């Protein structure tokens, strides 16, 4: 799957739209090639004509007898008498002979012209055959673009339908939550009346990052070894900082070594970080960054409502149990000002490489989050303009490679086309992007 050079230029819908546009252009190019390659009927070979003209009597061939004999005496008289009897037969035979001779001459001329034109006719046949072969090749290439041409449109339509279904489901869940809340309030009132000494249930203790905190300095070394250097992380997060430029009071949950806090500072954005790992907080302080040690959700809950311009959490949500994640999202919605931005980045477990080489390697991970799942939870929490931004695409040389079919004979090209189609399917499932971010906005 191709990804935009600027991962923040658009989310999943923009990527699908870009793929559709590319497929449209490719299909248009191939269709134009087919149109241009469409062969026309060959012109007749010049110089080849076998039509036989009707010869004029006596135009070719010699006369058998020139005319009636002349002379005197009884011999002349006898010859003329005989001629009057046989002369008409000789004249008709002479006409027939002349026509036959003329036809033979025409046939000989036509044979000579045909022999002379045969090399040129062969060349015309070869050119015509080559034209049809070119057309056939262009048609095959055009037809090979049709599946991709159609698939991109279907995927974009499915993504739009998924958004509609997701929003409808979120609305349904919200209505159900309101009814549940009303029922809970009624039950609480009844309980208070019947048993005033019963205390209400307490919320669970803070759990964001407790596994990380337990590892202490060991986890700092783990991040250094596997997640990447501070410079690499900062380079990957630069576009997030640009997106939040102009915002104020940004809270970075699970700030780690402070790469993003430093980027926000460089962009003039007031920010503070929270991390459950004390060594991480000390690393931030050593760089002059503002960070506090504690549970992220507890800290967020204590912040006044609508006091933050942005909330970020990079590689954090995969550490949370589902109920804590939902609580975090709902709390974040209340703490953001209208127009505020929520950015959640995590491992793309829908990618085979990311799941087996990144997710399961970290023992502090609690639960994998499919991109669609996290997006739904963000939408259900009240955020709008929620979209998925896929990040860190798998390198091209690490993906399955397609077979070059341009030089293959037709029967092998057909097999290679099927193979390439399956390779593309596997690449879109196994070797896509290592991370993704779900970004949403609190409506004004």
The model's pLDDT over 123-151, given as tens digits with 9 standing for 90+, comes to 767 777 777 777 667 676 767 667 766 77
How far, in Å, CA of 210 to CA of 37, rounded? Answer: 67
Give helix 371-380 / helix 73-194 axis angle, nearest 10°: 50
Q: Which tens digits make up the pLDDT trace of 396-433? A: 888 899 988 888 888 888 899 999 999 998 988 888 99
Task: Pick the more confident residue, 337 or 122.
Answer: 337
- Reduced to 3 states (helix: H, G, I; strand: E, B; else coil), residue 341 is strand
How far, in Å, CA of 205 to CA of 78, rounded? Answer: 151
Cβ burial, residue 72 (10 Å; 0-12/13-18/19+):
exposed
β pairing state of 271-275 and 291-293: parallel
In this predicted structure, the answer to whether residue 93 has a pLDDT above a threshold of 90 is no
Q: Report the candidate in 295, 263, 267, 302 with the shortest Cα–Cα distance to residue 281.
A: 295
- Reduced to 3 states (helix: H, G, I; strand: E, B; else coil), residue 438 is strand
In this predicted structure, the answer to whether residue 258 has a pLDDT above a threshold of 90 is yes
The DSSP-derived string for 306-373 is: T-EEEEEEES-GGGS-HHHHHHHHHHHHHHEEEEEEEEEEEE-TTSHHHIIIIITT-TT------HHH
How far, in Å, CA of 258 to CA of 234, rounded? Answer: 9
Task: Show the DSSP H helices in 270-343 as ranges.
Answer: 278-286, 296-302, 322-335
Q: What's CA 222's distance to the chain center, in Å?
A: 36
Query: How much is the average pLDDT of 235-258?
Result: 92
Q: Which tens digits make up the pLDDT trace of 177-221? A: 455 455 445 444 433 333 334 333 333 344 444 444 444 444 445
Task: Pick the more confident residue, 8 or 96.
Answer: 96
Q: Is the pTM of this model over 0.85?
A: no
Dihedral (CA of 417, 423, 428, 431) sign? negative
Q: Report the candidate in 349, 261, 354 with the shortest Cα–Cα distance to residue 313.
A: 261
CB-side exposure of 167: number of CA atoms within 13 Å? 10
- Reduced to 3 states (helix: H, G, I; strand: E, B; else coil), residue 242 is helix
How far, in Å, CA of 368 to CA of 322, rounded? Answer: 10
Q: Give yes or no for a contact between 284 and 273, defined as CB atoms under 8 angstroms apart.
A: yes
Task: Pick the more confident residue, 377 or 183.
Answer: 377
Q: Which of 76-85, 205-214, 279-288, 405-414: highest mean pLDDT? A: 279-288
Q: Give yes or no for a contact between 352 and 429, defined as CB atoms under 8 angstroms apart.
A: yes
- Reduced to 3 states (helix: H, G, I; strand: E, B; else coil), residue 76 is helix
CB-side exposure of 151: number of CA atoms within 13 Å? 13
């Amino acid at each position: 799957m191709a990804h935009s050079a600027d991962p923040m230029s658009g989310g999943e819908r923009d990527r699908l739209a870009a793929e559709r546009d590319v497929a449209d252009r490719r299909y248009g190019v191939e269709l134009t090639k087919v149109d241009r390659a469409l062969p026309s009927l060959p012109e007749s070979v010049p110089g080849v004509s076998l039509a036989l003209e009707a010869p004029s009597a006596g135009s070719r061939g010699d006369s058998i007898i020139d005319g009636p004999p002349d002379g005197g005496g009884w011999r002349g008289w006898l010859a003329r008498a005989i001629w009057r009897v046989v002369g008409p037969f000789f004249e008709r035979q002479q006409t027939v002979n002349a026509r036959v001779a003329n036809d033979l001459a025409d046939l000989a001329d036509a044979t000579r012209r045909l022999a002379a034109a045969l090399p040129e006719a062969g060349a015309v046949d070869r050119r015509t055959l080559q034209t049809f072969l070119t057309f056939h090749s262009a048609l095959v290439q055009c037809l090979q673009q049709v599946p991709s041409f159609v698939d991109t449109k279907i995927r974009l339509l499915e993504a739009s339908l998924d958004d509609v279904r997701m929003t409808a489901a979120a609305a349904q869940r919200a209505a159900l939550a309101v009814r549940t809340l009303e029922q809970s309030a009624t039950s609480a009132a009844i309980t208070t009346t019947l048993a005033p000494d019963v205390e209400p249930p307490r919320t669970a203790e803070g759990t964001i990052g407790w596994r990380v905190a337990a590892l202490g300095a060991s986890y700092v070394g783990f991040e250094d070894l596997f997640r990447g250097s501070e410079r690499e992380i900062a380079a990957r997060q630069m576009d997030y900082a640009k997106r939040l430029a102009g915002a104020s009071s940004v809270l970075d949950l699970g700030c780690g070594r402070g790469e993003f806090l430093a980027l926000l500072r460089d962009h003039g954005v007031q920010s503070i970080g929270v991390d459950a790992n004390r060594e991480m907080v000390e690393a931030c302080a050593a760089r002059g960054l503002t960070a506090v040690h504690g549970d992220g959700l507890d800290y967020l809950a204590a912040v006044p409502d609508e006091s933050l311009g942005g909330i970020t959490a990079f590689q954090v949500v995969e550490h949370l149990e589902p109920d804590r994640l939902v609580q975090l999202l709902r709390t974040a919605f209340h703490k953001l000002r209208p127009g505020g931005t929520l950015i959640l980045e995590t491992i793309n477990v829908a990618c085979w490489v990311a799941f087996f080489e990144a997710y399961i390697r970290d023992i502090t991970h609690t639960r994998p989050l499919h991109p669609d799942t996290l997006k739904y939870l963000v939408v259900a929490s009240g955020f709008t303009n929620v979209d998925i931004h896929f990040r860190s695409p798998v390198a091209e040389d690490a993906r399955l490679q397609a077979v070059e079919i341009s030089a293959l004979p037709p029967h092998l090209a057909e097999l290679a086309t099927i193979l390439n189609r399956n390779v593309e399917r596997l690449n879109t499932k196994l070797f896509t992007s290592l991370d993704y971010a779900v970004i949403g906005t609190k409506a004004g």
